[in-house]
């Protein structure tokens, strides 16, 4: 899984109009969120911090996405490359996030890709979304 930071601009479902991504997985998922008609809004700039303990240390889990659907329901989505799903730290974060979401009446989802999905430059451009990185996969 390639890790690359960048920024997408001209986003319609983010109230900020632009969002920073920390990986290709996140970038691709942001484009999917923009296209999903059931989604009202989404953002990475949500200020959600979920406290948890790992190896006796107190930490805060900062999930990737807050997603709101047209029906008003909300979910937290976390993008993880397949190898990271098996890490103890990921399992711990998932458990505390599921419990935290359940208390709020929300859902928690992990987003990963078993096979690589490619978004060609012309596909991104056809949605009028600007990517701060100029590369072709």
Q: Where are the domains of the chain?
A: 6-131
pLDDT, tens only, 38-92: 999 999 999 999 999 999 999 999 999 999 999 999 999 998 877 777 889 989 9
Q: Do the beta carbons of residue 98 and residue 76 sit within 8 Å? A: no
pLDDT for position 14 = 95
Average pLDDT over residues 101-127: 67
pLDDT for position 132 = 63
Q: Which residue has better confidence, 137 or 68?
A: 68
Residues recorded for the chain: 137
**CATH number, span 6-131:** 3.40.1350
C-alpha distances in Å from residue 89, one per residue of 28, 37, 69, 74, 129: 24, 33, 29, 24, 34
């Amino acid at each position: 899984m390639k890790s690359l930071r960048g920024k997408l601009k001209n986003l319609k479902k983010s109230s900020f109009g632009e969002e920073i991504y920390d990986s290709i997985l996140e970038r691709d998922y942001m484009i999917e969120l923009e296209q999903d008609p059931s989604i009202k809004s989404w953002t990475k700039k949500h200020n959600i911090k979920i406290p948890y303990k790992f190896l006796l240390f107190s930490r805060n889990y900062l999930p990737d996405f807050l997603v709101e659907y047209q029906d008003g329901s909300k979910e937290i989505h976390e993008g993880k490359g397949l190898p990271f799903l098996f890490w103890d730290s990921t399992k711990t974060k998932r458990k505390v996030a599921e419990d935290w979401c359940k208390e709020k009446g929300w859902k928690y989802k992990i987003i990963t890709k078993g096979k690589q999905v490619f978004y060609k430059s012309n596909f991104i451009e056809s949605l009028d979304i600007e990517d701060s990185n100029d590369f072709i996969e």
